Amino acid sequence: MDPGPLVDALRPLGAAETARYARQVMLPEFGVVGQERLAAARVLVVGAGGLGSVTATYLAAAGVGTIGIVDDDVVDLSNLHRQVIHSQRDLGRAKVDSAVDRLAQVNPHVVVVRHRERLTAANARGVIAAYDLVVDGADNFATRYVVGDACALEGRPHVWGSILRFDGQASVWWPPHGPCYRCVFPAPPPSGSVLSCADAGVLGSLCATIGAACATEAIKVITGMGRTLVGRLLVHDALVQTYADLPLRRNPACALCGPRATVREPGQGVLEACAAPVVDPARRVSVGELAELVASGSVTLVDVREPAEWREGTIAGARGIPLGELAGAEVPSGPVVVFCAGGMRSQRALAVLDRRGIAARDLDGGIVAWRAAGQSVEMPA
């Protein structure tokens, strides 16, 4: 299944490199030629977040010659428990700038290229074509499909990791040697049915587990060592500390890599389903309006945050139904207003309720705006 080394060696190592990499060059499977292949390799890391922090750091330390970093975000305080390439003094900086500075400190032999942008249907193929291999640590389905599609269309191996709460997955998508991402995940889940790390949380150290697995797979693909995750899905549960690997097959009807493929552009046919639902502004309730509704007792409040968040306080009378359970939960009748922390999950909640035929509105700015306006919260019953 594995096709052999991806990258040819271009130049002999210098004396400083030979000393730096001595402990991995001594591995017989790796050797001097493995190190020379890494030095010639060009790897694109998509996302300087939890996974990308770890993957990019280990690839730089290992001596991958050129590393591109794609990210359009800035460093936020809530990133630092898992995005270890950034530090306290980087708060507010572009993640690509912070990541490039750190990688330059890790290994001066590595050329780091910054791409301060989001990969889209328009730019993804052009960016990816300049690299030998792509590591995808994206945190959203739209980017995952764009990256997966662009890799398959450009013939690049696609090392992929995914994390949420205590669960991690990894694989290497690489048709025709194995399945592509769409062979296994032909369509994104319905918008609002799957939570993000921002909504559901993630254990920081899990990023290291899966990010390191991605770095290892990239090194194996480049050098031709061992047996890669091409055609296999690594499934890790950090809470019980188990690792499983499931065999994966190519889908003969795959729209991207099958014999009757129809996908010609990255993200074709799936991006619309990935987009966050856009809510009619008329369906958003301001803090002031909601305070009046609560005072008059003429509204049913649903808190779609997680139980650990309700326990920190919620709006008086609110019933807690986490977003992930909303599709099947009993929702009281009457005029409903849903809310979450900042107003993202509540928008998805409206889409879930729309599909159930329940007309609802949501609190603009969530409980953060509610508290900021001086409104009180109380402990749930």
Active site positions, annotated: 197, 340
Q: Is 75 in the site for Zn ion (CB under 5 A)?
A: no
Which of these ranges, 27-35, 118-126, 178-186, 359-367, lies near Zn ion under the rule CB under 5 A?
Answer: 178-186
Among 56, 151, 254, 331, indicate the residue that binds Zn ion (CB under 5 A): 254
Please report how close the Cβ of residue 252 comes to Zn ion at its closest, in angstroms. Answer: 9
Distance separating alpha carbons of residues 268 and 145, to the nearest angstrom = 9
Please report how close the Cβ of residue 132 comes to Zn ion at its closest, in angstroms. Answer: 20
Please report how close the Cβ of residue 154 comes to Zn ion at its closest, in angstroms. Answer: 14
Q: Is 39 in the site for Zn ion (CB under 5 A)?
A: no
DSSP classification of residue 252:
T
Identity of residue 284: R
Q: Describe the crossing of helices 50-62 and 95-106 by its angle, rounded to 10 degrees.
A: 30
- The token duo for 88 is 């306290």
Choice between 214 and 255, CB closer to Zn ion: 255
Choice between 184 and 363, CB closer to Zn ion: 184
Q: Is 255 in the site for Zn ion (CB under 5 A)?
A: no
Burial of 268 by CB count in 10 Å (0-12 exposed, 13-18 middle, 19+ buried)? middle
CA-closest candidate to residue 366, choices 119, 199, 240: 199
Q: Are 39 and 109 in contact (CB under 8 A)?
A: yes
Please report how close the Cβ of residue 172 comes to Zn ion at its closest, in angstroms. Answer: 13
Q: How many residues at the interface with Zn ion, by CB under 5 A?
A: 6
* 138: number of Cβ within 10 Å: 24
Residue 203: left (phi > 0), alpha (psi -120 to 50), or beta?
Answer: beta
Which of these ranges, 174-182, 206-214, 226-234, 303-311, lies near Zn ion under the rule CB under 5 A?
Answer: 174-182
Please report how close the Cβ of residue 141 comes to Zn ion at its closest, in angstroms. Answer: 16
Among 41, 99, 180, 213, indicate the residue that binds Zn ion (CB under 5 A): 180
Among 44, 151, 153, 257, indicate the residue that binds Zn ion (CB under 5 A): 257
Alpha-helical (H) ranges within 243-344 are 271-274, 287-296, 307-310
Q: Are 340 and 366 in contact (CB under 8 A)?
A: yes
Sign of the alpha-carbon dihedral angle for 254, 260, 262, 263:
positive
Q: Which residue is nearest to Zn ion (CB)?
A: 254
Helix (H) or strand (E) holding 351: helix 345-355
Binding mask 261-290 for Zn ion (x = CB under 5 A): ------------------------------
Could you tell me where the beta strands, DSSP code E, fall in the chain? 42-46, 66-70, 111-115, 133-136, 158-164, 167-173, 232-237, 242-247, 284-285, 300-303, 319-320, 336-339, 360-363
| Planar angle of CA 151, 49, 66, nearest 5 degrees | 55
Choice between 23 and 260, CB closer to Zn ion: 260
Please report how close the Cβ of residue 180 comes to Zn ion at its closest, in angstroms. Answer: 3
Please report how close the Cβ of residue 344 comes to Zn ion at its closest, in angstroms. Answer: 31
Distance separating alpha carbons of residues 247 and 230, to the nearest angstrom = 9
Q: Is 170 in the site for Zn ion (CB under 5 A)?
A: no
Choice between 56 and 230, CB closer to Zn ion: 230
Choice between 166 and 185, CB closer to Zn ion: 185
Which of these ranges, 57-65, 80-88, 101-109, 250-258, lies near Zn ion under the rule CB under 5 A?
Answer: 250-258
Among 64, 84, 256, 287, indicate the residue that binds Zn ion (CB under 5 A): 256
**Peptide bond preceding 176 in cis form (omega within 30 of 0):** yes
For the segment 182-211, give every residue that binds Zn ion (CB under 5 A). 182-183
Q: Is 230 in the site for Zn ion (CB under 5 A)?
A: no
Which of these ranges, 10-18, 130-138, 164-172, 246-254, lies near Zn ion under the rule CB under 5 A?
Answer: 246-254
Sign of the alpha-carbon dihedral angle for 4, 8, 12, 15:
negative
Choice between 6 and 180, CB closer to Zn ion: 180
Identity of residue 65: G
Residues forming the site for Zn ion (CB under 5 A): 180, 182-183, 254, 256-257
